[in-house]
Amino acid sequence: MLTRKAKYALKAMLVLARKGTDDPVFISELAKASGVPKKFLELILLELRNAGLLESKRGKAGGYLLGLPAQDIMVGQVIRAVDGPMAPVPCLSKTAYRRCDDCEHEGECGVRLALREAYQASLAILERTSLEDTLEMMAESHDTVAAMPMYNI
Amino acid sequence: MLTRKAKYALKAMLVLARKGTDDPVFISELAKASGVPKKFLELILLELRNAGLLESKRGKAGGYLLGLPAQDIMVGQVIRAVDGPMAPVPCLSKTAYRRCDDCEHEGECGVRLALREAYQASLAILERTSLEDTLEMMAESHDTVAAMPMYNI
DNA sequence: ATATACTCTAGTAATTCTATCGGATAACTT
DNA sequence: AAGTTATCCGATAGAATTACTAGAGTATAT
């Protein structure tokens, strides 16, 4: 399960991506728009900024804005920035590889092999789905709903 | 990240699958073979049994054995049995669907759409990869290692 | 009977998650 | 220069989850 933190991060990033402006947005505004507790969001935005996904401006008229174009920020990057590595076992992680302390022959580790393909498939998609792509899916799904016949007039 | 519990569950199930016998195996034996703390394993095996993936025999000469043929037990089932639903957000879960309390229009929820494909891809693989398949992969990877030229004679 | 092995309910220490507090720092305004 | 506004950041705290462990109970083979 995704942590609340990662969920909040995605929400906030999507709000910023949809806004599409070059003017920074206040945390308070983002908090309201995304429904995330302001103080918690502060923390999250800071982490996203330290990961290079956001830029910030301090002082009056400060706030946050995307650090890259929305099509260059991948869903996987956002999750990884706040939740850490996504791999089901450390020995499958690309960004934070670590040997499992409990298995001696990694090459033949059943758990690793059982999860490997599933993880790779999921990762491939998370690493090529951008915020922009997500916005498009949102627009489409909205159209779909709107295009559905209204029987209950 | 997979919990240790799920990892232990997979390990134990794989030991049983490899054994391939119809005689029950002691928890203590299983604990030694899989490197899982015995008391903890007890708990895990019980859950796997309650999920129908294992059968048990009580009393002297008791123990555990697979409840189904190894090709009919899927990696995803094992994980779900001990860790609960695998979906990144409850509104994507097939087995434990729940509306997210924080998003009102589910159809247009960005988080849901951002994760949907990746989750489906991963799930599809976890639900069609059996213990038997995993054993085969283990054997293959073992062969591969063994077949590698030995330069350091 | 009795020894053996699973069953099952609690409990617990450690860690992680989900925030919140409060003050420091930066920048804009007047 | 002073005041206002907003981010920065370290510390903290309660709740939930994880990873076990204890111990009493129950079934079964011999």
Domains of chain B with CATH codes: 4-147 (1.10.10.10)
Q: What's the pLDDT band for A152 if we cut at 50, 70, 90?
A: very low
- The answer to whether the CB atoms of B126 and A118 lie below 8 A apart is yes
In this model, does residue A153 exceed pLDDT 50? no
pLDDT at A149: 59
Q: What is the pLDDT of residues B33-85, one digit of tens each?
A: 999 999 999 999 999 999 999 999 999 999 999 999 999 999 999 999 999 99
Q: Pick the residue with more confidence: B18 or A101?
A: B18
CA–CA separation, A113 and A108 (whole Å):
8
Percentage of residues of chain B with pLDDT beyond 70: 94
Model pTM score:
0.92
Q: What is the pLDDT of residues A70-123, one digit of tens each?
A: 999 999 999 999 999 999 999 999 999 998 877 777 777 999 999 999 999 999
Three-state DSSP class for A2? Answer: coil
Q: Pick the residue with more confidence: A99 or A24?
A: A24
pLDDT at A29: 97
Report, as an integer, the average pLDDT of A22-32.
96
Residue B111, chain A, CB below 8 Å: the answer is: yes
Q: Pick the residue with more confidence: A104 or B121?
A: B121
Best CA proximity match to B101, nearest among B93, B89, B113: B89
- The residue in chain B having the minimum alpha-carbon distance to the alpha carbon of residue A83 is B1
Report, as an integer, the average pLDDT of B123-149.
87
Q: Is the C-beta atom of B5 closer than 7 angstroms to strand D? A: yes
- The answer to whether the CB atoms of A110 and B75 lie below 8 A apart is no
pLDDT at A102: 77
Residue A10, chain B, CB below 8 Å: the answer is: yes
Which nucleotides in chain C lie less than 7 Å from some protein C-beta?
Answer: 3-10, 17-22, 25-29
Residue A76 CB: number of other CB atoms within 10 A?
21
pLDDT at B104: 73
Residues of A in contact with B88 (CB under 8 A): 1-2
Q: Is the C-beta atom of B24 closer than 7 angstroms to strand C? A: yes
> Cα separations (Å) of A74 from A33, A95, A116?
21, 15, 21
In this model, does residue A47 exceed pLDDT 70? yes
Residue B64 CB: number of other CB atoms within 10 A?
23
In this model, does residue B153 exceed pLDDT 70? no
- The answer to whether the CB atoms of B141 and A115 lie below 8 A apart is no
Q: What's the pLDDT band for B146 if we cut at 50, 70, 90?
A: low
- The answer to whether the CB atoms of B141 and A113 lie below 8 A apart is yes
Residue B35, chain A, CB below 8 Å: the answer is: yes
Q: Is residue A120 within 8 Å of B144, Cβ to Cβ? A: no
Token pair in block for residue A96: 């934070």
